[in-house]
Amino acid sequence: MTQETFRSTVFILKNEMYRFAKRFVMSSDEAEDVVQDLMIKFWQKKDELEQFGNLKSYALKAVRNECLNRLKHHDVKTGFADMQLHRSELYSMEVNNLKEHIIGFINQLPEKQKTVIHLKDVEEYEVSEIAEMLEMEENAVRVNLMRARQKVKEQISQLMSYEQRQISR
């Protein structure tokens, strides 16, 4: 694979890889590091990349795996404490930005549901593409998507009823 071919087939995926990585690591710097490290690995294995039919799917799988590997190295107790702190801060905030709340609700989902809802509703992938990327059955993707949307919907309803009670006082 030549440098120009690499640039036109793999390097053009960097923005998509960055957005996908940011959903996992929640840090712009960490997401950039993930993409940069993967681009170096891809370049080193550029001749092997040609054997993969769908480079986008392969690249996003690599991002997912790299992010999960990095997350495993973080202290679980600190992560749990941060999540609890985030959750309590979330409920104490005013509801003036529903988008931020929805993102927070999505981030609280189990990992598979969070990934599936992001790929389907944000990145706008088809169910079949998501199934291939995550190595899941299409029905499992649909079930995870339905459950994720239901949980987010329930949390929005709870938030709205809570805000309605606050306004009524």
pLDDT string in tens for the chain (169-residue length): 788 888 888 888 888 989 888 888 878 888 899 999 999 998 888 888 778 778 888 888 898 888 888 877 655 545 565 665 565 555 455 444 677 778 888 888 898 999 998 888 888 899 999 999 899 999 999 999 999 999 988 988 887 776 566 555 5
pLDDT at 95: 45
The Cα 151–Cα 145 span in angstroms is: 10
How many Å apart are CA 41 and CA 85, to the nearest integer? 36
CATH number of 1-75, picked from 3.90.550, 1.10.101, 1.10.1740, 1.20.950: 1.10.1740
Backbone angles phi, psi at 152, to 5 degrees: -65, -40
Say what the pLDDT of residue 145 is.
Answer: 92
* Cα–Cα distance, 99 to 101 (Å, whole number): 5
Counts of helices then strands in the chain (DSSP H, E): 10, 0
Asked whether 108 and 139 are in contact (CB, 8 A), the reply is: no
Report domain 84-169's class: mainly alpha
Q: Taking a C-beta distance cutoff of 8 angstroms, is the pair 74, 28 a contact? A: no
Q: Which sequence spans correspond to the domains of the chain? A: 1-75, 84-169
